[in-house]
Amino acid sequence: MPQITYIDSDGNKHQVELPLGATIMEGAVQNDIKGIIAECGGSCMCATCHCYIAEDYLDKLPEMEEEEDEMLEGAVAPRTERSRLGCQVRISNALDGLVVEIPQEQ
Amino acid sequence: MLLPPLFPNIPPNSIPMKKNVIIIGAGHAGIQAAASLREEGFEGSICIFSEDADFPYQKPPLSKGYLDGSQQKNSIMFRSETWYENNQVELKLGELVEKVDVPQKTVHATSGEYAFDFLVFATGAYNRELPIPIKGTDQPLYLRTMKDADYLKQALDQEDVQDILVIGGGFIGLEIAAYAAKSGKKVTVVEYQPRLMQRVLPPMLSEHFAAKHQAYGVDLRMGVGVQDLTQDSKWLASLSTGETVTADQVIVGIGVLPSQVLAQEAGIRCSNGIEVNEYCETSAAGIYAIGDCALHPNPFAKGQMVRLESVQNAVDQAKAIASTICGKPTSYHQVPWFWTHQYNLKLQMAGLSEGYDQLLVRGDVEGDKFSVFYFKNNQLIAVDSINKPADHLQARKWIQASYTPDLEKLADDSIKLNEC
Ligand SMILES: Cc1cc2nc3c(=O)[nH]c(=O)nc-3n(C[C@H](O)[C@H](O)[C@H](O)COP(=O)(O)OP(=O)(O)OC[C@H]3O[C@@H](n4cnc5c(N)ncnc54)[C@H](O)[C@@H]3O)c2cc1C
Ligand code: FES
């Protein structure tokens, strides 16, 4: 199973293994990572699963749909080129070793 | 060994609260109340009773991702088991609260009697049952819990189940109809009102959704009632028009009623829901009601008493009472919002459109990408967006701030929304 490191909203690191196909948001909720709220349960409707992806993995991510792009514009923490919605990124083998940072605000 | 502080979020010089909170119900409202209490630094005990024995989960995916198989059980739970342990939130799953004694400040549950300082009704709502004669060995299907969803999915995914009758053209009935139609089933929807989702949508949006369902082969019968249901080798439904519909499965989604009997029997004031003030406090001091069960004065309905059945309402009311219990009286005043998915249509609603006197459409209606803006007395009161999440988020900000955009600019698609 791919290994993912979350840096939670307090700056603490958590290394976890996630099953293929799980989303970054689900992995955070199941592993009790502080800072991901996921109010809409992964429907790309709330932008409270905003996270920052480590630079070197950006090109390995599934492409962003227009919907996610628009929702990110409304996220509370500043949007950067590393911004994604955790519920829209599924874990693949290519993401083994990924580091995901959770913003302080959702 | 130095142990980490139990609740690291407590500001250093706040006075920790050491009282007992009992929460009845482990849906969005109950779980958020527990989480927000801890975030606010509440140090007393928190115990949640849930009649539902399943580990606490979110309901919206039950008619969406969970039904179509894209989301699994563990991807729709609110929190992990360790979260409850680490935050000392006690879960009593599969335990019904049978009685609340207001003067004694106790609840009676299956396993005994428990004392509280604060009590939170987060009891939600239950499905309205079809008020017609039903003859058969089986019952029509309803959807509210994970168990219902498991049963429904298993029933719908059977190959010999081809003809589906959905009674009720509201959100849940239509999401199920969309799933069945996409899976290649022959679906009939019978709706008593003259159009779909009439209670909350204007005619143009009802029609937009109706056209989409019809494009997927759904047979819509509007303004029609079902008079009785008989099960033989198939279900047979007789309609108010004199026609009949046959089906392998019948699914009913005709709305919900607030779970308020417990409160009522405890002498707490109830009507269409447990009545609360702007702090979500009931007629009994220290006892709150939040979420689907709470009849509350809503600032976005001009202070009228309303009951909202949405994640937003449950979550934001929970946050408000958590602050209040922690000594910072906080009234509930968040913009209502809601969403539904049917086929490629993702509808997001912000504000309450009831009573609008003017409406403006912006965007590409044929391309399923547009928003409807509602005004009352020249003030923006609500926005419904189809596949326009940016409009929805902008609308939430505007309505929360009581801002009304310039109508002429709004009508001009070439002007960006945030410049209106
Ligand atoms: C299929 C479905 C799809 C939905 N889709 C959406 C959507 O897309 N967007 C949206 O915003 N909302 C949606 N909703 C509505 C949303 O799920 C509810 O508004 C929300 O769950 C309300 O939360 P709640 O905590 O108030 O109540 P509930 O989630 O109903 O939880 C109340 C809980 O209290 C328990 N309980 C009641 N009485 C007792 C008792 N005496 N003792 C112990 N336990 C008790 C019940 O077992 C229940 O689990 C949907 C609902 C359903 C069913
Ligand atoms: S969980 Fe709501 S947008 Fe990701």
Delimit the domains of chain A by residue range.
3-101
First to last CA, chain A: 28
- Residue with CA nearest ligand 1 atom 41: B97
Set of chain B residues whose Cβ sits within 8 Å of the Cβ of A42: 61, 65, 71, 75-76
Contact with chain A for residue B71, Cβ under 8 A: yes
Q: Which atom of ligand 2 is nearest to the CA of A40?
A: 2
Residue A69: exposure state from Cβ atoms within 10 A (0-12, 13-18, ≥19): middle
Question: How high is the pLDDT of residue B75?
Answer: 86
- For a substitution probing ligand 2, which of A33, A87, A102 has the most ligand atoms within 8 Å of its CB? A87
Three-class secondary structure of residue B218 per DSSP: coil
Going by the DSSP 8-state scheme, the letter that residue B62 receives in this structure is G
Task: Return the structure tokens found at B181.
Answer: 């139609």
Counting ligands in written order, which one lies closest to the CA of residue A23?
2
Three-class secondary structure of residue B340 per DSSP: strand
Q: Which atom of ligand 1 is nearest to the CA of B49?
A: 43
Contact with chain A for residue B363, Cβ under 8 A: no
For ligand 1, whether the C-beta of B122 sits within 6 Å is yes
Contact with chain A for residue B348, Cβ under 8 A: yes
Which contiguous run of DSSP H or E holds residue B364? strand B358-364
From B346's Cα to the closest Cα of chain A, the distance in A is 9
For ligand 1, whether the C-beta of B338 sits within 6 Å is yes
- Asked if the Cβ–Cβ distance from A32 to B74 is below 8 Å, we say no
Taking a C-beta distance cutoff of 8 angstroms, is the pair B387, A67 a contact?
yes
Ligand 2 surroundings by CB, under 6 angstroms: A 25, 38-40, 42-49, 85, 87
Contact with chain B for residue A39, Cβ under 8 A: yes
Average pLDDT over residues A3-14: 95
Residue B270 forms beta bridges with which residues?
Answer: B274
Three-class secondary structure of residue B378 per DSSP: coil
Residue B189: exposure state from Cβ atoms within 10 A (0-12, 13-18, ≥19): buried
Distance CA B369, CA B347 (A): 10
Task: Tell the CATH topology of A3-101.
Answer: Ubiquitin-like (UB roll) (3.10.20)
Question: How high is the pLDDT of residue B17?
Answer: 66
Which residues, other chains included, contact A78 with Cβ-Cβ below 8 Å and sequence gap of 6+? none
Which contiguous run of DSSP H or E holds residue B274? strand B273-275
Contact with chain B for residue A98, Cβ under 8 A: no
The number of C-beta contacts closer than 8 angstroms across A and B is 67
Task: Return the structure tokens found at B193.
Answer: 């009102």
Distance CA B123, CA A33 (A): 28
Task: Return the structure tokens found at B164.
Answer: 């589906």
From A88's Cα to the closest Cα of chain B, the distance in A is 12
Residue A62 forms beta bridges with which residues?
Answer: none
- Asked if the Cβ–Cβ distance from A29 to B79 is below 8 Å, we say yes
Three-class secondary structure of residue B305 per DSSP: strand
pLDDT at A65 over 50: yes
Set of chain B residues whose Cβ sits within 8 Å of the Cβ of A39: 311-312, 315
First to last CA, chain B: 60
Domains located in chain B, CATH noted: 20-126+256-325 (3.50.50.60), 129-252 (3.50.50.60), 344-419 (3.30.390.30)
Q: How does pLDDT run along chain B (420 residues), one tens digit per residue?
A: 444 444 444 444 344 467 999 999 999 999 999 999 999 999 999 999 999 999 999 999 999 999 999 888 988 999 989 899 999 999 999 999 999 999 999 999 999 999 999 999 999 999 999 999 999 999 999 999 999 999 999 999 999 999 999 999 999 999 999 999 999 999 999 999 999 999 999 999 999 999 999 999 999 999 999 999 999 999 999 999 999 999 999 999 999 999 999 999 999 999 999 999 999 999 999 999 999 999 999 999 999 999 999 999 999 999 999 999 999 999 999 999 999 999 999 999 999 999 999 999 999 999 999 999 999 999 999 999 999 998 999 999 999 999 999 999 999 999 999 899
From B390's Cα to the closest Cα of chain A, the distance in A is 5
Question: How high is the pLDDT of residue B14?
Answer: 46
For ligand 1, whether the C-beta of B317 sits within 6 Å is no
Residues 75-94, chain B, touching A (beta carbon < 8 A): 75-80, 82-83, 86
Three-class secondary structure of residue B178 per DSSP: helix
Set of chain B residues whose Cβ sits within 8 Å of the Cβ of A31: 80
Residue B308: exposure state from Cβ atoms within 10 A (0-12, 13-18, ≥19): buried
Residue A2: C-alpha distances to residues A17, A61, A91 (Å) = 6, 14, 7
Q: What is the DSSP string of chain A?
A: --EEEEE-TTS-EEEEE--TT-BHHHHHHHTT-TT---TTSSSSSS--SEEEE-GGGGGGSPPPPHHHHHHHHT-SSPP-TTEEEGGG-B--GGGTTEEEE--S--
Residue B45: C-alpha distances to residues B42, B119, B128 (Å) = 8, 12, 35
- Main-chain phi, psi angles of B343, to 5 degrees: 55, -130
Which is nearest to A91 in space by CA: A10, A31, A40, A8? A31
Three-class secondary structure of residue B138 per DSSP: coil
- For a substitution probing ligand 2, which of A46, A50, A65, A83 has the most ligand atoms within 8 Å of its CB? A46
Going by the DSSP 8-state scheme, the letter that residue B329 receives in this structure is -
Counting ligands in written order, which one lies closest to the CA of residue A36?
2
Taking a C-beta distance cutoff of 8 angstroms, is the pair B331, B278 a contact?
yes
Reported as a pLDDT band with limits 50, 70 and 90, residue A40 is confident
Residue in chain A nearest B85 by alpha carbon: A32
- For a substitution probing ligand 1, which of B67, B128, B292 has the most ligand atoms within 8 Å of its CB? B292
Contact with chain A for residue B341, Cβ under 8 A: yes
